[in-house]
Structure 1
Amino acid sequence: MRYVKDLMERSAFGVCSYLGDKMGIASARVRINFIYISFVALGSPVILYIFVAFWLNVRNYIRRKRSVIWQ
């Protein structure tokens, strides 16, 4: 069971972990709330999730490029 959880966290872009760290709450709580909100809002938060995942990926890419420039 732990393997499946680790696999999902790595392949899910780390959006819930990032939001949990920024808000100071457990990432598991963010995931559960996201699932509940997705059911209530008929899946529309998935668009927000994909946007945040894209934004985090671009941000990490830019940070990697900057560290290379300054070294």
Structure 2
Amino acid sequence: MNIFYKALLYFQKRGYYVCQRIADRLGIRAKVVRTTFMYLTFVTVGFGFAVYLFIAFWMRIKDLLYTKRSSVFDL
């Protein structure tokens, strides 16, 4: 197993599900989004990782602000 797949497995297990949520929104596989982020990180010397963390932070804040309520009585 080479270093690329070790890094890929590490981020799949400990990620913030940013790639999965983007892939679900775009209708593509999450693996494609993950490899795109990894290539972007290598090509731009860390800029892709900074974008990934920013999106993870933004999604977390969005989830905290906009929670889905199951009923009107949950207000």
What's the TM-score bracket when you normalise by the shorter of the two chains? 0.7 to 0.9
Specify the structure having the higher radius of gyration (Cα). Answer: 2
Residues 1-71 of structure 1 aligned to structure 2 (within 5 Å):
5=9, 8-9=11-12, 11-64=14-67, 67=69, 70=72, 71=74
> What secondary structure, in the 3-state scheme, does the structure 1 residue paired with 2:69 have?
helix
> What secondary structure, in the 3-state scheme, does the structure 2 residue paired with 1:25 have?
coil
Shift of 1:16: 0.3
Structure 1 unaligned segments of length 5 or more: list them: none
How many correspondences in the alignment?
A: 65
Q: TM-score, normalised by structure 2?
A: 0.70
Indicate the structure with greater helix content.
Answer: 1
Structure 2 unaligned segments of length 5 or more: list them: 1-8
Q: Where in structure 1 do 4 or more consecutive aligned residues deviate above 2 Å?
A: 7-11
Instruction: Supply the distance in 2 between the matched residues of 1:24 and 1:34 (Cα, whole angstroms).
Output: 17
Identity of aligned residues (%): 27
Q: TM-score, normalised by structure 1?
A: 0.74
> What secondary structure, in the 3-state scheme, does the structure 2 residue paired with 1:42 have?
coil
